[in-house]
Chain A
Amino acid sequence: MSWFDNWHLPKWFYQMASPKWFFDFGARLQPWFAALALLFIVCGLVWGLLYAPADYQQGNSFRIMYVHVPAAILSQSIFLMMGVTGAIGLIWKMKVAFMVARACTLVGASFTALALITGAIWGKPTWGAYWVWDARLTSTLIMLFLYTGVMALNQAIADRSVAGRATAILAIIGSINIPVIKYSVEWWNTLHQASTFTLTAKPSMPPEMYMPLLFMVLGCYCLCAWLVVQGTRNEILDQERQASWVARYLEDQ
C-alpha cells in the first residue's frame, strides 16, 4: 500500500492537536459562528413561520419542519463528527480530538431529542399518532440511546484519555446507524415520508418553501459549531489547568 506511505496530512491538522492553538483559534472563530447563526436562524424562522406559503394538504402544521428538519440533520451530522473525531483521537493519539468528541455529545443528544419531540408534535395532526415504530423513528430513537450511552460512559470513567478511547469506539460503531437512519425510508415501508431533498433530484418543494429551510439548516450548523467549539474550549481549560498558559489566561479574565 504505497499510497499510504506517501500520504501527507496538512499542517493545520497537526496544529489542531495543540490545545493552546485550538483554544486561541476557536476563540477567533466563535464570533463569526455566533453572528452567522443569529442571522440565519432569525431570518429563517421569521421567513418560514410567517411568510412561507402554507402547504396544500397540511396547512400551517407543516411549518414545524423548519425546526424538525434542521434538528434531525444536525443530530446525525454531530454523531458523524463524534465518530470521526473519536477515530482521529484513537489513531493519532490526539487529546484535542477526544475533547471535541466529548463536546459533541450533549449538543447532539439535545438536537436528537428536539427532532423526536417536534416529530411527535407534527405526527399527531398529520398522521394521527404521536409515535409509530417505523424504521426511521426507531433508528433515530436508537441514536438518542447511543448518545446517552456515550455520555454515561464519559461520566463513568474518570481518566479522560481512557474515557476518550472507550467512547470513541462506541461512537465509531454507532456511526453505522447513520446510513440506516438516512436510507430507512427507502429500504423499508415506513410511515415517515421520503426525503424532500436529495443530491440527485430537484427538491420536491418550491423555493419560497425551501429557502427558509436552507437558512435554518445553515443557521443550526453555525449554532452547533459555536456550541462544540465552546464546549471544547471549556474542556481544554479543565484538562490543561496545570499548564502555565491557562493560568495566565485565567488571570487575564
Chain B
Amino acid sequence: MAMHPKRKKKLILVLAMLAGVGLIVGLVLYALSQNINLFFSPSDIALGKAPYEQRIRAGGMVREGSVERAQDSLQVTFVLTDYAHDIQVNYEGILPDLFREGQGIVAQGKLLASGIFVADEVLAKHDENYMPPEVTAAIDQAHKASVKAEESAQ
C-alpha cells in the first residue's frame, strides 16, 4: 500500500514545521549563547569580555597551592585558572564540601577594576567521572611512584 497523497502532504507539513521552528530556536540560542553560558572563564575575563563592577559568575579550576585562608576570619583567597589565564578570587564565607585545589568551581560576585574577583558565593562543579575511593588511592600511589622513579633517574 503506497502512501496516501494526503498523508504524504501532512507528513511533509509536520517535517517542515519541525525544521522551521528548529531553525528559529537554533538561531535564537546561537544569538543568546553569551547569556546562556553560566559563567565567564578566566580567559574571557583576561580578554575583557566580562563587565566590571557587575554581578557575574566566573568559573574554572582552583589552581593547586593557591588557596590561602586567613587565620582569624573566613576570608579565603585563591587563583582561578583555565590553564591559559589566571584570576585572583577573594571570598568570605563557608566553602562547599567539594571545594579543593584542582577542583572546578563557579564563583558569583564582582570583577573589580584591579582585576580581582570578589565572590559572595562559591559553588563546586564536579565532573562526570565517578570512581570508588580505592581506585583513586591506587592511581595516586602509581602517580607518586612514577614521580619518585623520575626523580631518582635524574
State whether B10 touches A91 (Cβ < 8 A): yes
Segment of A52-60, A99-107, A147-155, A227-235 engaged in the interface with chain B: A52-60
Residues on B with C-beta less than 8 A from A127 are: 96, 98, 123-126
Interface of chain B, helix or strand or loop or mixed?
Answer: mixed
Residues on A with C-beta less than 8 A from B25 are: 176, 180
State whether B14 touches A53 (Cβ < 8 A): no
Known contacts A188-B38, A191-B38; decide if A5 and B96 are in contact (CB<8 Å): no
The reply on A7 being an interface residue by CB < 8 A is yes
Known contacts A56-B133, A176-B22; decide if A194 and B127 are in contact (CB<8 Å): yes
Q: Which residues 81-120 of B sit at the A interface, judged by CB distance below 8 A?
A: 95-98, 106
Q: How far is the CA of A8 from the CA of B97 in the complex (A)?
A: 59
State whether A132 touches B134 (Cβ < 8 A): no
State whether A194 touches B128 (Cβ < 8 A): yes
Q: Which residues 207-250 of A sit at the B interface, judged by CB distance below 8 A?
A: 208-209
Known contacts A4-B8, A180-B25; decide if A193 and B128 are in contact (CB<8 Å): yes
State whether A204 touches B3 (Cβ < 8 A): no
Residues on A with C-beta less than 8 A from B3 are: 4-5, 7, 9
Q: How large is the interface on A (under 10, 10 to 19, 20 to 34, 35 or more residues)?
A: 35 or more
Total A-B pairs in contact (CB under 8 Å)? 125
Residues on A with C-beta less than 8 A from B131 are: 55-56, 205-206
State whether A58 touches B126 (Cβ < 8 A): yes
Q: Which residues 161-202 of A sit at the B interface, judged by CB distance below 8 A?
A: 169, 172-173, 175-176, 180, 187-191, 193-196
Point out which of A175, A190, A196, A206 has the most chain B C-beta atoms below 10 A from its C-beta. A190
State whether B130 touches A208 (Cβ < 8 A): no
Residues on A with C-beta less than 8 A from B106 are: 132, 191
Known contacts A4-B3, A56-B133; decide if A126 and B98 are in contact (CB<8 Å): yes
Residues on B with C-beta less than 8 A from A34 are: none
The reply on A253 being an interface residue by CB < 8 A is no
Smallest Cβ-Cβ distance to A175: which chain B residue: B18
State whether B14 touches A90 (Cβ < 8 A): yes
Residues on B with C-beta less than 8 A from A206 are: 130-132, 135
The reply on A87 being an interface residue by CB < 8 A is yes
Beyond A54-B132, A206-B131: 12 further Cβ-contacts under 8 Å? Answer: A54-B133, A126-B124, A126-B126, A135-B37, A172-B14, A176-B25, A189-B39, A191-B125, A193-B127, A193-B128, A204-B128, A206-B135
Give me the interface of A with B, judged by CB distance under 8 Å.
Answer: 4-9, 53-58, 62, 87, 90-92, 125-129, 132-135, 169, 172-173, 175-176, 180, 187-191, 193-196, 204-206, 208-209
* A–B Cβ pairs within 8 angstroms, 7 of them: A4-B8, A56-B136, A62-B130, A126-B126, A135-B37, A187-B36, A191-B125
